[in-house]
Every structure is written in C-alpha cells, then in structure tokens.
Amino acid sequence: MEYNHLQEIAIIGLRNRLLLLHHISELFCPCIPMFDLEGRLGGTGHGVSVGFDTLRGILISQGKIKAEMLYMEKPVIIYPYSLDQVKRSRSKGGLAGPDGTKSVFGQMCAKMSSFSPDSLLLPHRVWKVKFVGESVDDCGGGYSESIAEMCEELQNGLTPLLIVTPNGRDESGANRDCFLLNPAAKSPLHISMFRFLGVLLGIAIRTGSPLSLYLAEPVWKQLAGMNLTIADLSEVDKDFIPGLMYIRDNEASAEEFEAMPLPFTVPSACGQEVQLSSKHSHISLENRSEYVRLAVNYRLHEFDEQVSAVREGMARVVPVPLLSLFTGYELETMVCGSPDIPLHLLKSVATYKGVEPTAPLIQWFWEVMESFSNTERSLFLRFVWGRTRLPRTIADFRGRDFVVQVLDKYNPPDHFLPESYTCFFLLKLPRYSCKLVLEEKLKYAIHFCKSIDTDDYARIALSGEPAADDSSDDSDNEDADSFASDSTQDYLTGH
C-alpha cells in the first residue's frame, strides 16, 4: 500500500477527514484578502504570513490556488500598452552574446527596469512585441511567441541562468532532461536576469499562461520556500551522496588516506570544484566527517542566492508569502501547467467557423491530433497559439476559444498548408481531400513554420521594397550590421 499509515483507518473515517480538509480550505480562502502580504518574501518577515508553510500539507490544492487567485484579484490600475517603445534585435544564429544580453530574454530583462510596478499586474499580457521580418500586429500572438522564445533560450544555452542536472550531464539517474539554476551565475547582471526570470514565473501564475520550463523538482521546492533535503540532492545527482558515504564509512587507515590525496573540495552542481575549508587542503581520517558535513551543507545551499533573486522577481507580480502554501509540484503546475497536453481540454474550448463539428474535415483533424505525440501536440500549440502548454483548467483560458475555420480561397486545397493566427488562437484549414493529406500538411506546418509571418512581408522582402514598419530609430541598434542578415528586431512596448 502506498500510504502505510492509513491502512488501519476505515474508509468512512478517511472520507470524513477528507471532507474536513475541504471544509478547512473553504473557510481559509475568503480570509486571504485580510492578510497584508505586500513586499514580503515568505520566511523573512514577521506576522501571520510566516506560518503559512504549516498549512502546506493541510489545504486542498484547488483551495490553495483559489486563495492565491482571490488575493490577486485586488483592484489594480490598468495602464495602456503604448507608454514606452524601444527597438531590439531578436536572437538568431547564436548571436545572443556571451551573457545572453542580445537574446530576447536579455533584451526584455534590460527593458524591465523601466516598467512600472502596476504594469506587471495586468491580467492577460504585460507588453506588446513586434518581430521585424515577421508581419504581425500584436493582439496577443507576438506576446505569446516572445514568452515561448524566452523559455527556449533559457534551456538551449543562449543564457547562463540554467544548467542541466548532474544526472543529465552523466546520462544516469532521474531528471536527466531537467534544469537547475546555475550557482556560478552570480554577477550583478546575472542576478538581475534571475529577478526577471522570477517576473516571468509570476506573470505565468497571474495570467494563467503556462511556461514551457523543465526545472527539476528541487528548484520548485526552493521557490515555494521549502528547504532541500539529501533526497533532493540524489534526485538530480545520484552519485553525490553514495560518494560521500564511501568516504565517511571507508575502513582505510590514516596512512592509506594519506596515500590517496583527496582534495578538500566538492563538485558544484555545474561541475566546478569548490574549496570547502581554508584549514584543510586534503581529506584525512580525522577530518572526513567534517568534510562530509561541509560538502552536504554546500550542496543544500549552493542555489540560495539565485533562488532569492528569482523570488524577488516573483514578488513584483504575486504575493510570494502565499507560495508557502504550495508544494514544489503544485507550484510547478501553477507556472507550467501540465507537460501532457490533454486533447479533451482543447476540444472543450474549440469552436468552428464555416464548418460543422461533425464534418469529415474536423473529424480527421481531431484524429490526427490524437495520433500526435505529446511533443507534436506542443509544437502544434506553438504554431497556433504561440505557447507550448495548455492552461490548467477551462477557467484558466479566460474566455479564449480555440477557433477552427475552413479556408476556401485555395484551389486545389491539397497544395496548400494550414494557416494560423496566434493572436486569436485561430487555425484555418483548407478543405483537404483526405485525412492523410491533412496529417502531412499539418505536420509540415508545425515543424517548419515557427515564425510569425505573412505573404505581405514575404512579398516586400522578395521585391526589395522597403518595409513600412521597418523605418525605426537607430539609437538603440548596437551591432546592427552583424544582425542584419539573419536576425529580426522587435519593438517591445512596456508600461
């Protein structure tokens, strides 16, 4: 049995206790607005919010999420989108710079200092974006694409903030495809970037727009205000603790320890050797217990500075003390949604234009979607909505329907690709002759049509005519020549 402590309790008793927990959650939720949580980073302040972590295992998940949402529904001043406008270069071809400052993430981070605090509290999107070379009037699609682009940059090495887990480097153990915060990224620039990462996490929670970030569970635990344990270290570095135990329990003599000079250092999560003590240069029989204690302590706290910066950024958008109510897994779900893309949820918000939901074309479409792998479904969402994950629930869609419309202007339809309008969560399908053609065209579109582009801009580029939207100020165009051939530029309008 998974929960051994419960096996002696009658089912009726468990049911009554669960009802009681639900009732406690229902009573707690309306009380949230009574707490003064502004400006506190849970665990560092004083007052009633300090004890929130004691409720983490008591309150029901949905009750905790409802409490968070209720607190964030406090009235805020809504600003228009067009107070500030700057020009930036979208990163392509590895031209993000040594610290990622020319990546989309780096450019947005630099811009964030000019955003007013209230501007980050908007319920749907915080900025408008235009990628030059991709004709799009940002009604939401450009914004979503910028978020997806930043998540991609964080995890493909264009920025220095995230590192693959030690298990991932060694190709062994669990969490090989997950990332940790980089403990070596601690310059003032890096810390400001971590704060902006926190802002992105907070925006995802506030707007219900999930991020495609694959952070290891220990990261989410720390962001929720929980302390790491030895078990957490083993989750991301399976050889670390066994290696320490070997040193601690080794029956070698003092002379044998001296014969194998082991440095008094510990490998950090990013693989750098860190000196643990100025008193000892090597591990000996006498100091090995101290070495193990210091090594474990270092690895448990090596991310503290980076976690603190991320939480500072989150505090600009959401009440961070309330995060103490959540487990790491619950926080990850709030920020990232589920990595699985449930088609029943997408179907529940689907509407149709110019075609009945029972038409063969629509039936073929859903059958193709059913056959897609989760990765392909993620690519489809990126193509049609500029995102890679679905919100958690129907309510989190905030009234945004997924619209499927028939495209009748092309003949013969089998020669043309589907079209998407990410600003409107809209997919236009030609009237394909069979399911096989639909599958072929849709797969091509989601794999190779990632840019937000239209025939209008393509025509201008091919004819050599100047683009009307490209007459931009050169005052903020460092290294413009190096970007001219293969990169785009964006206009980020903050407020």
Which residues are catalytic, by number? 423
**H/E element, 62:** helix 61-72
CB atoms within 10 A of CB 384: 26
CB atoms within 10 A of CB 192: 16
Tokens 């949820």 sit at which residue? 345
Q: Are strands 162-164 and 179-181 parallel, antiparallel or unpaired?
A: antiparallel
CB atoms within 10 A of CB 469: 15
From CA 353, how far away is CA 381, in angstroms rounded?
A: 19
Q: Which two tokens stand for residue 131?
A: 């990628």
Tokens 């004709």 sit at which residue? 135
DSSP labels, 315-348 = HTTS-GGGGGGS-HHHHHHHHH--SS--HHHHHH
Integer-rounded Cα radius of gyration of the chain:
26
How wide is the angle at C-alpha 309 spanned by C-alphas 303 and 313, nearest 5°?
A: 140
CA distances from 186 to 100, 126, 163, 169 (A): 14, 27, 14, 22
Is the torsion defined by CA of 330, 336, 341, 345 positive or negative?
Answer: positive
Nearest 5°: phi and psi at 58? -105, -45
CA distances from 320 to 225, 405, 460 (A): 9, 42, 48
Tokens 């240069």 sit at which residue? 281
Nearest 5°: phi and psi at 98? -65, -30
DSSP labels, 294-311 = HHHHHHHHTTHHHHHHHH
405, β-bridge pairs: 353, 428
Nearest 5°: phi and psi at 40? -105, 135
CA 310 vs. chain centroid, Å, equals 12
164, β-bridge pairs: 179
Q: Quick one: DSSP state of residue 469?
A: G
From CA 136, how far away is CA 374, in angstroms rounded?
A: 28
- Confirm if 97 and 141 have CB atoms less than 8 A apart: no
